[in-house]
Amino acid sequence: MSYQKTFERLSGTVCEILKKSPRCHDWEHTLRVLNNAKMIAKKEKKCDMRVVEIGALFHDIARADELAIKGKICHAKKGAKLTEEMLKEDGLNEALIEKVVKCVRRHRFRGSEFPVSIEEKIIYDADKLDSLGAIGLGRAFLFAGRIGAKVHNTPEDAVNSKSYSENDTAYREFLVKLKYLPSKMMTASGKKIAQKRLQYMEEFFIKLDDEVLGK
């Protein structure tokens, strides 16, 4: 069977599984990570596109499982195990499976394992990019809305608040996590895009503050 057909079939299976995932990490997030990964891969040195594409496709396969037991398991570790089982069942080449599984296991920002191969680095960066820029703002407000947080607060209220409180706003996410992402990127092109997207977010939050204060 051709690679294209295999990829389409795997996409259908992953799409079905991700229907259980929350909006911030749903099938559309996976599609954006896939697009980001292809965009970075074009600019990076030689890499195996099959590993990049299948790795991006499976990277958050176990998100819903992690959420279901309130973060007691790591979705990257569980996802790596699931990916291995599913790809073996599908009859994919062993060497390819091994590379894809490492991409899934090493994609997480808070994970204990860091990306090593170029394909692992591309997926790691592609995932982080979806938290930055216009889409990053959209996702941060979506999450804040889901937990009942405010639309705006001061930097002091934001940084001195707890997760899941009314001050756990999109701005808090930006101040405590997102603004540090560009420095953690693994590829040169990923870092460049991340810096641009971060600048856009900085401008957005200045404008938001001005509008709220009637400036």
Q: Which of residues 157-196 bind Fe ion (CB under 5 A)?
A: none
For Fe ion, the closer of residues 107 and 191 by Cβ is 107
Q: Does 65 bind Fe ion (CB under 5 A)?
A: no
Q: Which residue has the tokens 């991700």?
A: 18
For Fe ion, the closer of residues 150 and 197 by Cβ is 197
Q: How far is CA 204 from the centre of its chain?
A: 21
- 191-195: long-range pairs with CB below 8 Å, 24+: 191/125, 193/39, 193/40, 193/129, 194/125, 194/128, 194/129, 194/132
For Fe ion, the closer of residues 76 and 201 by Cβ is 76
CA–CA gap between residue 88 and residue 84 (Å, rounded): 6
DSSP 187: S
Cβ 179 to Fe ion shortest distance, Å: 19
For Fe ion, the closer of residues 60 and 168 by Cβ is 60
Burial of 204 (0-12, 13-18, 19+ CB in 10 A): middle
Q: Does 127 bind Fe ion (CB under 5 A)?
A: yes
Q: Which residue in 50, 42, 52, 43 sits closest to 103, CA to CA?
A: 52
Which of residues 53, 60, 65, 66 is near Fe ion by CB under 5 A? 60
Region binding Fe ion by CB under 5 A among candidate stretches 85-93, 119-127, 135-143, 193-201: 119-127
Cβ 34 to Fe ion shortest distance, Å: 10
CA–CA gap between residue 199 and residue 186 (Å, rounded): 19
Region binding Fe ion by CB under 5 A among candidate stretches 38-46, 59-67, 90-98, 154-162: 59-67
For Fe ion, the closer of residues 60 and 125 by Cβ is 60
Region binding Fe ion by CB under 5 A among candidate stretches 1-9, 126-134, 167-175, 177-185: 126-134
What is the token pair recorded at 9? Answer: 């079939």
Region binding Fe ion by CB under 5 A among candidate stretches 4-12, 52-60, 173-181, 190-198: 52-60
Q: Can you give the binding site for Fe ion, defined by CB under 5 A?
A: 60, 127
